[in-house]
Amino acid sequence: MQITDRTATAEGRERITLVPESLDDLWHLTYVLEPGDRVAADTTRRIQRDDEQLRDKGGEREPMWIELSVESVEFAKFANRLRVGGEIEQCSREDQLGFHHTFNVEEHDELEVEKVWKADQIDRLEEAVEAAENPDVAIATVEEGEAYVHTVAQYGTEERASITSTTGKGEYARPRDELFAELAEVLQRQDVDAIILAGPGFTKQDALDYIADEAPDLVDKITTVDTSGVGDRGVHEVLKRGAVEEVQDETRIAEEADLIDELMRRIGEGAKAAYGPEKVAEAAEFGAVERLLVLDEHLRAERSGDGDWDVDADEIIETTEQKGGEVTVFSGEFDPGQQLANLGGIAALLRYRLE
């Protein structure tokens, strides 16, 4: 993410000019943009006229500048875009004011966002800016007869390849090499700075030896990790063991896994922890919250008025920060976030127990 300009406007609002540079950045914006925000960008549009109340289906789309009041935000992961819809408030063509428009924001599209920014939203933008400097990571898990390649992104892990082949040694050495060759080819296609090669037994070392001979440019990127499984199970083991964190200093997934593990340990022991909106709000008022854990999906729902909490989410965050606590917003895309959802979408690690 690039932030190219920041300008204070009226009534505590600030206008920030952003350039998303990756899918991760578009994902971040999903949880920054809210109904009522103003978003402006250069775009194209088929002209819609007041007298017809219908789009002119003929002709080409006309380029124009539009500022809209946000009504909906959707991260279309598989379309590589963020859809931001709302009513046109300002436009380079005045006859388009009041109509509905949707921005299809893709990587490297510049947009301006004006709103009253909350502290966690600014933190999320700064995290996205810092993430641009972090290495992209691929996890390759391999055992006899099968190999999988996943990439690690801030919106989750994604399978890129599933490879199967008859393998063995001696007379079956050639099919085994074919598996390794296809694995090396897939890894070369991934534009990553680091590769974790994982799996049970010695197969991963044999794969590494093959790659060293046939694709030596990959070797310096590779770290090996022992796991008992491959595929999704192997990837989960890699994440749990902190292997990604070793090659990516600030990995959101690793941090969330550690925090949720500590939370579950404390809950199991009846120790310093609270979960659920009311209990966490009470802990925040007492100044007992050391680390607040809140799910992005719940936070967005509460801020848009679609949530079901009886307490104010922003008040909990503000009170926590005012009394020296830290706040981590979890992603619903990861297993830790799903565990947090089962606890009501909000929890806290406490400085002391509340009776």
The pLDDT assigned to 36 comes to 95
pLDDT tens digit sequence for 140-154? 999 999 999 999 876
Residue 284 binned pLDDT confidence (cut-offs 50, 70, 90): very high
Dihedral, CA atoms, 289, 293, 297, 298, nearest 10 degrees?
A: -30
Q: Of the residues 215, 247, 279, which one is the last residue of a structural domain?
A: 247
Confidence at residue 191, expressed as pLDDT on a 0 to 100 scale: 81
Show the beta-strand stretches assigned E in 46-80.
62-76
Asked whether residue 10 falls in the same domain as residue 114, the answer is yes
263 and 201 within one domain? no
- In DSSP terms, 163 is beta-bridged to 147
Residues 240 and 152 in one domain: yes
230 in the same domain as 150 = yes
Q: Of the candidates 83, 108, 131, which is a domain's last residue?
A: 131
Domain holding 209: CATH number? 3.30.420.60
Question: Which of 142, 144, 175, 174 lies closest to 161 in space, CA to CA?
Answer: 142
Rounded to 5°, the CA angle 338-264-130 comes to 60
Do 187 and 299 sit in the same domain of this protein? no
Give the model's confidence band at 333: pLDDT under 50 very low, under 70 low, under 90 confident, else very high: confident
Q: pLDDT confidence of 130, banded at 50, 70, 90?
A: confident
Asked if residue 170 has pLDDT above 70, the reply is: no
Amino acid 132: pLDDT: 66
114 in the same domain as 9: yes
Which of the two residues, 135 and 230, has the higher pLDDT score? Answer: 230
**76 against 263, higher pLDDT:** 263
pLDDT value at residue 289: 97
Whether 355 is covered by a domain: the verdict is: no
Q: Give the domain CATH number at 17.
A: 2.30.30.870
Whole-number pLDDT of residue 168: 55
Helix (H, G, I), strand (E, B) or coil at 223: strand
Which of 201, 236, 241, 207 shows the shortest CA–CA distance to 222? 207
Last residue of a domain, one of 191, 220, 247: 247
Distance CA 301, CA 34 (A): 10
For the ranges 83-97, 198-212, 298-312, the lowest mean pLDDT is seen at 298-312
Q: For 127-137, what is the mean pLDDT?
A: 73
Question: Residue 257: what pLDDT?
Answer: 87
Over residues 235-239, the mean pLDDT reads 91
Domains contained in the chain, number = 3
Q: What's the mean pLDDT in 66-72? A: 97
User: Scanning the structure block, which residue is given the tokens 């124009």?
Assistant: 64
* pTM for the full predicted model: 0.60
Residue 345's pLDDT is 96
* Closest alpha carbon to 99 in 52, 58, 30, 61: 52
Q: Any idea what the CATH number is for the domain that residue 294 is in? A: 3.30.1330.30
At 5, list the tokens: 């300009």
Average pLDDT over residues 57-61: 60
Q: Are 14 and 115 within 8 A, CB to CB? A: yes
Confidence of residue 197 (pLDDT cuts 50, 70, 90): very high
Domain that holds residue 289: 253-350
